[in-house]
Amino acid sequence: MVSLFSKDAVMIWIPILLLILFRVAIKHHMRKSRDAQMIIWNDHVTPTTGPTELPRISGIWEVVGPVSNHNKMPRRMTIYRLPGTETPELLIHSCIACNEETMAKIQALGKPKILVIPNRFHTLDAGVWIQRFPDMAIVCPESAKLKLARKNIEPTHPMEEHLASYGISCLTVGVTNDRPMEYILSLPVFGTDDNVLVCSDTWFNIVEPFPGFGYKVMSFLGSIGPFKITKMGTLFIKDWERYADDLESIKTTENVVGILVGHGAAIAGYADSNKALLSVLSFARSKAEKKKDE
């Protein structure tokens, strides 16, 4: 029987304990906003930059800011102008509450039409966005619905079907059931055959340090560094061979010219996007080979 204090056990349970404590601190700060009908927008506003259009990619913008005023880990909101609409309409992925000046700039780009809540962890500002824009369609993975129900948030449309009506694909990597933690969205770039991949926690790309204790925690958890699957992320992957095959398919068929992750720097351009996907693909293939040898 393996001791809880053996080296191997400690390397597993200490990161998990730190992550739990980290999440409890965030929940404590956001406790007052559980009821989506009573929360106040300004309580959620954090300093942000943007909206900034991706270099050489039309119709996709990013807004970047900290998770909260107490947790300085960077997070990203992606804004996508939906194709085929008579007036400009926007998809909002992983929403962030911004100051009024920034919100005016966002609304100048188009009317917020679809809110994508990417997974059960990225819900901090969903309530205030829904309160502010009650006519938005709300979509999320099936696996996030229970968490959202506790916040009195109910999706209005099935995610895959609704986004497909705008030509947006919901992709997965290594998923062995019908309840993925999150989808990777493949957003068509207007007037081209290119696509930009958007996700929240499937991959991280935090290459710059950020202030606060959270940086040390995320470093210990293996979430800091160039484009990667985090150590915590590997715990959710059961079939590495399938993961690698799925990623190979995405790399081959989607003609990726940009990757936007929930945490960390954006990747723009075919060469850099291809390099990033190859690095993760190589990692997944090595994991699959190790599994075969066990």
pLDDT at 36: 41
pLDDT at 34: 44
pLDDT at 162: 97
Question: Given a cut of 50, is residue 32 above it in pLDDT?
Answer: no
pLDDT at 33: 43
Question: Given a cut of 70, is residue 22 above it in pLDDT?
Answer: no
Question: Given a cut of 80, is residue 53 above it in pLDDT?
Answer: yes
pLDDT at 66: 95
CATH annotation of 7-293: 3.60.15.10
- In terms of pLDDT, which residue wins out, 238 or 254? 254
How far apart CA 245 and CA 237 sit, in angstroms, is 13
Question: Given a cut of 90, is residue 14 above it in pLDDT?
Answer: no
Q: What is the mean pLDDT of the chain?
A: 89
Q: Quick one: pLDDT band at residue 12, thresholds 50, 70, 90? A: low
Q: Determine contact, residues 173/202, Cβ cutoff 8 Å.
A: yes
Report residue 95 as tokens. Answer: 């929403």
Please state, for a pLDDT cut of 70, what percent of the chain lies above it.
88
Question: Given a cut of 80, is residue 248 above it in pLDDT?
Answer: yes
- In terms of pLDDT, which residue wins out, 294 or 168? 168
Question: Given a cut of 90, is residue 100 above it in pLDDT?
Answer: yes
Q: Quick one: pLDDT band at residue 167, thresholds 50, 70, 90? A: very high
Burial of 18-30, coded b for 16+ CB within 10 Å and e otherwise, reads ebeebeebbeeeb
Residue 9, CA distances (Å) to 20, 48, 218, 233, 291 in order: 17, 40, 19, 18, 20
How far apart CA 111 and CA 91 sit, in angstroms, is 9
pLDDT at 17: 72
pLDDT digits (tens, 9 = 90+) for 129-153: 999 999 999 999 999 999 999 999 9
Please state, for a pLDDT cut of 90, what percent of the chain lies above it.
71
- Of the candidates 97, 30, 91, which has an alpha carbon nearest to the alpha carbon of residue 63? 97
Q: Where are the domains of the chain?
A: 7-293
pLDDT digits (tens, 9 = 90+) for 188-246: 999 999 999 999 999 999 999 999 999 999 998 889 999 999 887 887 788 999 999 99
- Of the candidates 50, 31, 47, which has an alpha carbon nearest to the alpha carbon of residue 39? 31
Average pLDDT over residues 254-281: 96
